[in-house]
Structure 1
Amino acid sequence: METVLLLEKEAVGHLLPQKFPFVMVDKMYSFTETSLVSGLTIENDNLFFENNHFLEAGLIEHMAQSVALHTGYQFFLRNEPAPTGYIGSIKEIEIKKLPQIKDTIQSTVTIIQEFAGITLVNIVTTLNNEEIANGQMKTVLAK
Structure 2
Amino acid sequence: MTESIVSSPEVILNLIPQRPPFVLVDTIYEHTEKEILSGFTVPANHILVDDGKQLSEAGLIEHFAQTIALHQGYNFYLKNEPAPVGYIGSIKNIDVLELPLVGQEIQTRITVLNQIMGVTMVSGDVFLNGKRIAHGEMRTIIARDTE
Match of 1:80 in 2: 81
Match of 2:96 in 1: 95
Match of 1:46 in 2: 46
Match of 1:16 in 2: 16
Cα separation, 1, equivalents of 2:81 and 2:30: 20
Residue range with higher mean Cα deviation, 46-55 or 18-27: 46-55
3-state DSSP class of the match of 1:25? coil
For residue 19 of structure 2, what is the amino acid of its counterpart?
K
For residue 12 of structure 1, what is the amino acid of its counterpart?
I
For residue 140 of structure 1, what is the amino acid of its counterpart?
I
Q: Return the offset for 1:107.
A: 0.2
User: 1:11-47 CA distances to partner (integer Å, 9 max, x unpaired)?
Assistant: 2122110011110000000100000000000011111
Q: Please say if 1:63 is aligned against 2:64.
A: yes
Match of 2:131 in 1: 130
3-state DSSP class of the match of 1:57? helix
Identity %: 42
Cα separation, 2, equivalents of 1:99 and 1:9: 22
Aligned residues: 142
3-state DSSP class of the match of 1:94? strand
User: 1:52-77 CA distances to partner (integer Å, 9 max, x unpaired)?
Assistant: 11100000000000000000001111
Match of 1:29 in 2: 29
Cα separation, 2, equivalents of 1:9 and 1:42: 16
What TM-score do you get using the length of structure 2 for normalisation? 0.94
Cα separation, 2, equivalents of 1:76 and 1:98: 31
Cα separation, 2, equivalents of 1:57 and 1:124: 15
Cα separation, 1, equivalents of 2:122 and 2:142: 14
For residue 15 of structure 1, what is the amino acid of its counterpart?
L
Cα separation, 2, equivalents of 1:121 and 1:79: 24
Contiguous gaps of at least 5 residues in structure 1: none
Residue range with higher mean Cα deviation, 19-28 or 45-54: 45-54
Runs of 4+ in 1 over 3 A off after TM superposition: none
Cα separation, 1, equivalents of 2:69 and 2:23: 11
Q: Return the offset for 1:9.
A: 3.9
For residue 5 of structure 2, what is the amino acid of its counterpart?
L
